[in-house]
Structure 1
Amino acid sequence: MRRPFVQSSTHHCDPASLLNYSDFGGGEKMAENLKGCSVPCKLSLDQLQTRCRQEKVSCKLLGVSKNNINDYEVEYLCDYKRMKAVEFYLVKWKDYPESENTWEPRRNLKCVKLLRQFQEDLEAELRRRRKRAGGARLDPGVASSLVQRARQRQRLQRWEALLNATRNHKGRIFVRNDADLDGPPRDFTYINNYKTGDGIALTEVAVGCECQDCLGAPAGGCCAGASLHRFAYNERGQVRLRAGLPIYECNSRCRCAADCPNRVVQRGIQYDLCIFKTHDGRGWGVRTMEHIRKNCFVMEYVGEIITTEEAERRGHIYDRQGATYLFDLDYVEDVYTVDAAHYGNISHFVNHSCNPNLQVYNVFIDNLDERLPRIAFFSTRPIRAGEELTFDYKMQIDPVDAESTKMDSNFSLAGLTGSP
């Protein structure tokens, strides 16, 4: 986008001199004394380009020349008006304060995506206010809401980028909020694996299988058989065990490769998922961006492992706040709890339903302590792209045998209600 500032005389520089100018005030004597020194630049490439344009300095290495020195990036659009059949937009320029906002005619704006987004936001805001489009100028309240929406979208985009930079799984994470003006949740850190609390240690398995083909010809029943349990998956990676029975996957000591059919949960989330704000007051939720087949692994429930005593203490605090993310690990005995309130992965945002499409399984991989299973969610039926993912916070397993009675998540979300 070309910003119509008054052209002034230009100068030429190289990045080294720009660095000296930016960090040390441009003093020639100081620059001479610093020859041979190397320090990290405090400005990003974009910021250096902006600094060049502000100072009317051209730099070949930064891609700033006489031809584009007045090119500036539109950060978002703030307002709209029409004068004598000409459309104008109030532009917030990237890396410039709002005091530098300028009205630009539509023909000057090449930011098609931002124009489309502004129009969508405007239509949504007018629907919310039950107003019709039209008029030469926007109502100040409408314009203010559009600016708030643009700022919120930036915050959510930064959070989305942080989540994807942190994740160690294939599936991407998207963030959407069309319901209100809330930004990212506060005091939440995305983690990929359990975070152990004080005095809690995850012991690493000492042995692994010797199988050449864990599914077709498992030696000694592979890892599941060695633990006196059935092999969990079919050739397509779908769980074939009844809910309540444990899953024993191959571990870091096993001879089999990473593509072994008995390595499913440990490969992490495979589907693109979206954290979105619900429109019915249930807060954030998660929906899948892809079709998910029945009995497929979707995600783990990850958080901080704490003792049940600590969970009891925190539970009283969470109850007063109106929400809790405590998941009891009571596969064999009620000793530990997973708290995903402040440390967790995308499962932190999954809502409750009495008719869920996710089922919980206890999984053991590198840690075989039955008091510390990994909690994995598998699909109970085919799930369409765009459908919300849910599980039953107070899930009960049908006690067909002694094994299946061991699992009771005892999970609750006080003060909130899910879909029926």
Structure 2
Amino acid sequence: MLDVTHYIECAAHFFFFFFSSFSSGCSVECLSTESHLQELSRLEHVCCAALGVNRKNICNFEVEYLCDYKRVQEEELYLVKWKGYSDSECSWEPRRHLRCFNLLRQFHRDLERELLRKKVVARCPRTLDSSLSHYVVLKAKQRQWLRLWEQHLNSKRAHPGLITVENEVDLEGPPKDFVYINEYRVGEGVTITKSAVGCKCRDCFTDERGCCPGGFQHKFAYNEEGQVKVKPGFPIYECNSLCRCGPSCPNRVVQKGIQYNFCIFRTPDGRGWGVRTLEKIRKNSFVMEYVGEIITSDEAERRGQIYDRQGATYLFDLDYIEDVYTVDAAHYGNISHFVNHSCKPNLQVYNVFIDNQDERLPRIAFFSTRTIRTGEELTFDYRMQVDPVDVESTKMDTNFGLAGLTGSPKKRRRVECKCGTNSCRKYLF
């Protein structure tokens, strides 16, 4: 029989070899994770330098979450779920043995909120009834799922802005069947043709006529700070991959992606998930794109009827020139998937053209309508319209039309608006 100490040391060195080989381009399969080997090492009281297990920390076990609480005389005891061990191996531990201060604080915060919801006067009872202990366990597991989802979202994003996830409202976990993407996914029957020309400017900001906007008889969209200066309804033509200018060109804003850190959070008023900014956003700044699967309007009509029965929809008409294509962000999308409606929004829609010049397939960009404070929720108007008086009298701009959800209002069931603003229209449709 293989000696346990020898096994751990061999496995640790194999684990170290696996990661060093992986970094050099060679990889082999490792059957044990580092954390599993650390737990096995501590269980067998074996020190291993390769795993970072020594005499000082050999008796340290990681708390995964806290399951229950009781006070015996004046001593506080917690039922601990240990990381890497089954539920049957949970153990009661005195508080003085626990160094998981954040988990302890979170446990009592969850407990106090549930007691408040149940209108229980006692701040912290001597023992928890089964419903309370069940709740704190579900909350701890939900927090784990949300952290994993947060890590997954950040591993998929191709933009600088970080994503955090928070739910302090209910037990809802990550949405099912949602795939994070960074650019349009092309659906059946849709073809995107790349631009065949690029500008030759040495300085795009000063050579407005010779740059991409001027080539399409439109104004340069940004000022020196990268803020949009054209009115809603005017198209934005950015420099593309064929242009001579580099990535620092002032006419490359939307294509640089999301620059701000955002939090996907659970709203407390029944609006589901929402998005708030973790940084101050200046007025007229690019915030995010609305991306999803590009489908034909016929397919959008079919899906819209299904989404209506489900009580939600993420269909956005690309009706800048004509109503031919729609963006469906129900299953494929970015953080804009979670942005809620408001009748008084802080985001405004602009049509943007970069590598694709097909006027039927603009990219949908959200810019801030005002300064947005740190912690403020981001919103846009699902029925946003542009005042034709303020729009240039060209074919493209006067037909900007409705930048909202697809489908005829007569065919859609009425959906109550919950934005809560003074100017609320009461219904989305």
Asked whether 1:373 is paired with 2:367, we answer: no
Deviation by residue 1:171-205 (Cα, 9 ceiling, x = unmatched): 11111111110000011000000000123222111
Return the alpha-carbon distance in structure 2 between the equivalents of residues 128 and 59 of structure 1: 48
Q: Which residue of 2 aligns with 1:197?
A: 187
Shift in CA distance, 384/103, structure 1 to aligned 2, threshold 3 Å: same
Asked whether 1:417 is paired with 2:417, we answer: yes
Say if 1:301 and 1:376, in contact at 8 Å, map to a contact too.
yes
Q: Which residue of 2 aligns with 1:307?
A: 296
Say if 2:289 and 2:365, in contact at 8 Å, map to a contact too.
yes
Say if 2:81 and 2:89, in contact at 8 Å, map to a contact too.
yes
Q: Which residue of 2 aligns with 1:291?
A: 280
Within a 5 Å distance, the mapping from 1:273-284 to structure 2 comes to 273-284=262-273
Within a 5 Å distance, the mapping from 1:151-162 to structure 2 comes to 151-162=141-152
Return the alpha-carbon distance in structure 2 between the equivalents of residues 214 and 418 of structure 1: 44
2:171 pairs with one of 155, 169, 181:
181
Asked whether 1:406 is paired with 2:396, we answer: no
Q: Which residue of 2 aligns with 1:168?
A: 158
Return the alpha-carbon distance in structure 2 between the equivalents of residues 162 and 80 of structure 1: 32
5+ residue gaps, structure 2, are 16-26, 407-411, 425-429
Asked whether 1:326 is paired with 2:297, we answer: no
Return the alpha-carbon distance in structure 1 between the equivalents of residues 293 and 4 of structure 2: 56
2:39 pairs with one of 43, 50, 53:
50
Q: Which residue of 1 aligns with 2:383?
A: 394
Q: Which residue of 1 aligns with 2:348?
A: 359
Say if 1:294 and 1:381, in contact at 8 Å, map to a contact too.
yes
Q: Aligned partner of 1:371: which letter?
A: R
Q: Which residue of 2 aligns with 1:212?
A: 202
Within a 5 Å distance, the mapping from 1:6-17 to structure 2 comes to 11-13=5-7, 15-17=9-11
Shift in CA distance, 60/366, structure 1 to aligned 2, threshold 3 Å: same
Secondary structure (helix, strand or coil) at the match of 2:135 reads: helix
1:68 deviates by 3.1
Secondary structure (helix, strand or coil) at the match of 2:210 reads: helix
1:126 deviates by 1.4
2:80 pairs with one of 91, 102, 114:
91
Say if 2:199 and 2:210, in contact at 8 Å, map to a contact too.
no
Q: Which residue of 1 aligns with 2:252?
A: 263
Secondary structure (helix, strand or coil) at the match of 2:227 reads: coil
Q: Aligned partner of 1:145: which letter?
A: Y
Return the alpha-carbon distance in structure 2 between the equivalents of residues 383 and 58 of structure 1: 53
Return the alpha-carbon distance in structure 1 between the equivalents of residues 416 and 85 of structure 2: 42
Q: Which residue of 2 aligns with 1:341?
A: 330
Number of residues of Structure 1 aligned to a counterpart in Structure 2: 395
Say if 1:78 and 1:91, in contact at 8 Å, map to a contact too.
yes
1:398 deviates by 0.6
Q: Aligned partner of 1:190: which letter?
A: Y
Q: Aligned partner of 1:217: which letter?
A: D
Q: Aligned partner of 1:136: which letter?
A: R
Q: Which residue of 1 aligns with 2:23?
A: none
TM-score w.r.t. the length of structure 1 is 0.90
Taking every aligned residue pair, what percent have the same amino acid on both sides?
61
1:227 pairs with one of 197, 204, 216:
216
Q: Which residue of 1 aligns with 2:108?
A: 119
Return the alpha-carbon distance in structure 2 between the equivalents of residues 320 and 10 of structure 1: 59
TM-score w.r.t. the length of structure 2 is 0.88
- RMSD, aligned α-carbons: 2.0
Return the alpha-carbon distance in structure 1 between the equivalents of residues 124 and 150 of structure 2: 35
Secondary structure (helix, strand or coil) at the match of 2:66 reads: strand
1:11 deviates by 2.8
1:79 deviates by 1.2
Secondary structure (helix, strand or coil) at the match of 1:242 reads: coil
Say if 1:238 and 1:297, in contact at 8 Å, map to a contact too.
yes
Deviates more, 1:194-203 or 1:401-410: 401-410
Say if 2:12 and 2:50, in contact at 8 Å, map to a contact too.
no
1:146 pairs with one of 124, 131, 136:
136
Shift in CA distance, 298/18, structure 1 to aligned 2, threshold 3 Å: closer
Return the alpha-carbon distance in structure 1 between the equivalents of residues 260 and 170 of structure 2: 26
Q: Which residue of 2 aligns with 1:24?
A: none
Return the alpha-carbon distance in structure 1 between the equivalents of residues 311 and 220 of structure 2: 41
Q: Which residue of 1 aligns with 2:226?
A: 237
Return the alpha-carbon distance in structure 1 between the equivalents of residues 328 and 44 of structure 2: 52
Q: Which residue of 2 aligns with 1:30?
A: none
Say if 2:189 and 2:296, in contact at 8 Å, map to a contact too.
no
Say if 1:282 and 1:416, in contact at 8 Å, map to a contact too.
no
Q: Aligned partner of 2:398: which letter?
A: T
Q: Aligned partner of 1:298: which letter?
A: V
Return the alpha-carbon distance in structure 1 between the equivalents of residues 355 and 12 of structure 2: 52
